[in-house]
Structure formats: C-alpha cells, structure tokens
C-alpha cells in the first residue's frame, strides 16, 4: 500500500565547482527500497541502492562519496557520456561532404565526447517530479563546435523510478544543424556492492546478441564483417559467469585486456527490448537491462588499476565492476555499413534504457528460484 507521507524526492547540495557553481544531488526513493542518487555533474548516477534477497540494501555502482573525487580524476563513474560515446577513429569523419575534426583524447582517436565531454559538464535541473513515479530531468546545451562537433545540441536526461524495482533512463536531443549523436550512461555495476571487495567475475551475464565487433589495438572496430559469438568467449546468449572464459587465449581478449567490446543488438528504435541480464550469486540480486539502442558495450573493468580510492575508501581494481553501456556502434560516422548516428534539424534523438531489478531466493533443496521471472522469449 502506498504511503502518501513517504518522502520520494530529496534535493541538496553535493559540492562546489572551482568557479563557485553548485553541484546538486537529487535522491529518488521507492517504498520497496530502490533508491537512485543523481548528481548534476555529468548528469551522473552517483549511487544506486538495491535490496538483496534478504532485504538488505547496498549501493551497487562504483563512484565517490564526495564530489571532490569526481572532479579530481575523469573516470566516467555513472556519467552521461556524449556527444559521442565510445570511439571515433582518427578523431575525424566526413559529414555531408565536409570533414569534421574532433579533439583527440585517446591516442589518435576521440573517446567519450573528447577532452571535456558531457560527463565534465554541470547540467541544470529543469524538472523534479514527485508522486508514484519520482523523477528528475536535467538539461545541457552543447554549443556549435564544442569538441569539434557541428550544431548546437539541446539535450535532456530523465531518470525515473517506475514500478516496484525499476529505474528508467530517457535521453533526448535536438540540433539546429546536422550532426552525429550517441549518448549513453557509464555506470560501473557490482551487484555484490560497491564496498564489498568482491569482483564481478562470478556474476552470470546474459547478452542477447549473436554478433560482436572485433577491434584493433586502439579499440576501433576492424574493417571486417560482424564477428559471430558462437564458439567464442563472447557467447553470452545462454548466460555464463563473466570470469569463466575471460582468461582464454583469444586474440580479442588479448587486445581488449578482457571484455571491452560492442555487442550487436536488434535494430534501434521502438520500445526498449531485452539486451542483458546480470545475476550475482551471493546477494541474489538480478539486473535486467532493456534498451532501444543497437549496441551494448560490455566492459569488464580491465583498466581499474588500484590507483583510485572510491566509496568507503576502497581501491578499485581490475574486474571490480562491469559496465553495460547501450549506445550506437563505435566509429559509426566513419562506417556507412553501421547503423547511423546522424541527427538532422527537426529530428528527435531518443535513447531509452530500463534497469529492472529482481532477486533470487534459496529454494527448499538449495536451488535458486526467481521472485520475478524475466520475459519469455527474450534471451536470444
């Protein structure tokens, strides 16, 4: 039964920028224990508290307890990434016959929006909604030429709690000049808890993809047909532990130092479809991800090297988290054979992703049964 007196939205100051600007935090809460904390810096998911099978809540995303950690080092913890998530080869592409030169910030390539992407901007809060589906909407205007991208881009991001245990993310964008747009959220998940000290190698991962993109040493897709997952360590269609094959001698695991690859989902558009599922055996937490995006970047935390202290003062090390980033395929502006990321004036870019949480409980004979089953027929 809904309690009308239950506080569903709280808003407060989280930090101060060097120029004196205020960074705010909005906390969205449900009576069932799901709690999402969003900060204006990077329109980031700063914390996500989820109950386990016994009802104990824990924060399941990596990040920092205080704003200073986000400002000190750029690591994309929970951030909104744009104008183009992932990589663009050579930090350049051709659009309508004109060459577009970007800021190179990953060797010769452009990564996650350039030197100062959307993750390094302090977004403005334009709307806070209370009620049964509490939400916050943040906005940012990217100027024409910012990081080299053409067109003034008006972006809005809405985080919303829906149903008993579901967090949704809607991203929209409009431009006054033809450009490319590819947004994502870059949360680092550990369903054991961000302070647990456990790795994600025992998390069981399912990905609804028959193909993935093989990459070169710069993480740029190779100029070859899509690679089939069948018979490789990249086959997660039926669910397998992340660590089960991560150390296999496969050339793509060597070049990525683990998983850091785009999985090719169903074509973009329409309602969000099942893309991935993550199960953690100890807590019983289950995350199901639905999206309308054509790709899912799976990153197994390969470059977390213990040089950053995060929540609770814990040093984040390799495989301490996994990122599931729905977005367009990498280097799409240079690959006419890939689904387009082009946005023209009068068009609306729309990215929808849902994070749905359930949990498993121990059965009478030691097997696990799900409290809420996933949709049928969505695993492949």
Q: Is 372 a catalytic residue?
A: no
Label residue 46 exposed, middle or buried (CB < 10 Å: 0-12, 13-18, 19+).
buried
Buried b (16+ CB within 10 A) or exposed e, 278-287: bbbeebbbbb
- Residue 1's pLDDT is what? 41
Distance CA 215, CA 255 (A): 8
Return d(Cα 376, Cα 135) in angstroms, integer: 29
* pLDDT tens by residue, 178-226: 999 999 999 999 999 999 999 999 999 999 999 999 999 999 999 989 9
Residue 267: its pLDDT value, please?
85
Each residue's pLDDT tens digit, 271-320: 999 999 999 999 999 999 999 999 999 999 999 999 999 999 999 999 99
Question: Is 261 designated active site?
Answer: no
Q: What angle do CA 148, 175, 337 make, to 5 degrees?
A: 70
The overall pTM is greater than 0.85: yes
Q: Per-residue DSSP letters for 200-259? A: STTSEEEE--SEE--B-TTSPBPSSPPEE-TTSTT--TT-EETTSSTTS--HHHHHHTS-
Domains of the chain: 9-370 (2.70.98.10)
Paired strand residues for 321: none
Residue 166 pLDDT exceeds 90: yes
pLDDT confidence of residue 38: 98
Which DSSP letter does residue 61 get?
B
Q: What's the pLDDT at 188?
A: 98
Identify the pLDDT of residue 361: 64
* pLDDT at residue 202, as a whole number: 98
- How many of the other CB atoms lie within 10 Å of CB of 244? 14
Q: Cα separations (Å) of 290 from 11, 171, 277, 293, 298? A: 28, 14, 9, 9, 14
* Marked catalytic residue, from 112, 186, 351, 359: 186
Options 112, 170, 325, 351, the catalytic residue: 325
**Rounded mean pLDDT of 158-162?**
97
Lowest mean pLDDT among 20-24, 79-83, 370-374: 370-374
């Amino acid at each position: 039964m809904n309690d009308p007196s239950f506080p569903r939205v709280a808003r407060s100051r989280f930090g101060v920028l060097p120029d004196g600007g205020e960074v705010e935090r909005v906390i969205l809460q449900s009576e069932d224990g799901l709690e999402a904390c969003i900060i204006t810096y990077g329109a980031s998911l700063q914390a996500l508290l989820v109950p386990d099978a016994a009802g104990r809540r824990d924060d399941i995303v990596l990040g920092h307890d205080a704003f200073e950690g986000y400002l000190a080092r750029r690591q994309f913890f929970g951030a909104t990434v744009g104008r183009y998530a992932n990589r663009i080869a050579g930090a350049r592409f051709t659009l309508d016959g004109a060459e577009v030169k970007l800021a190179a910030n990953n060797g010769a390539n452009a990564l996650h929006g350039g030197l100062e992407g959307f993750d390094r901007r302090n977004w403005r809060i334009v709307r806070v909604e209370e009620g049964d589906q509490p939400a916050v909407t943040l906005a940012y205007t990217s100027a024409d030429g910012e990081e080299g991208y053409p067109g003034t881009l008006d972006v809005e991001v809405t985080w919303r709690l829906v149903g008993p245990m579901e967090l949704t993310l809607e991203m929209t964008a409009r431009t006054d000049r033809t450009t490319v747009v590819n947004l994502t959220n870059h949360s680092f998940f550990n369903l054991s808890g961000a302070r647990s000290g456990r790795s994600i190698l025992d998390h069981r991962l399912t990905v609804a993809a028959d193909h993935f993109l093989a990459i070169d040493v710069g993480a740029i897709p190779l100029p070859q047909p899509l690679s089939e997952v069948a018979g490789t360590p990249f086959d997660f269609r039926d669910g397998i532990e992340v660590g089960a094959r991560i150390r296999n001698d496969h050339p793509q695991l060597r070049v990525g130092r683990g998983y850091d690859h785009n999985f090719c989902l169903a074509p973009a558009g329409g309602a969000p479809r099942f893309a991935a599922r993550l199960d953690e055996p100890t807590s019983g937490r289950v995350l199901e991800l639905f999206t309308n995006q054509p790709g899912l970047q799976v990153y197994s935390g390969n470059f977390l090297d213990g040089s950053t202290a995060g929540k609770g003062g814990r040093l984040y090390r390799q495989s301490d988290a996994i990122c599931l980033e729905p977005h367009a395929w990498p280097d799409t502006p240079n690959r006419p054979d890939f689904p387009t990321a082009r946005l023209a004036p009068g068009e609306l870019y729309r990215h929808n992703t849902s994070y749905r949480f359930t949990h498993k409980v121990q059965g009478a004979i030691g097997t696990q049964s799900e409290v809420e089953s996933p949709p049928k027929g969505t695993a492949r």
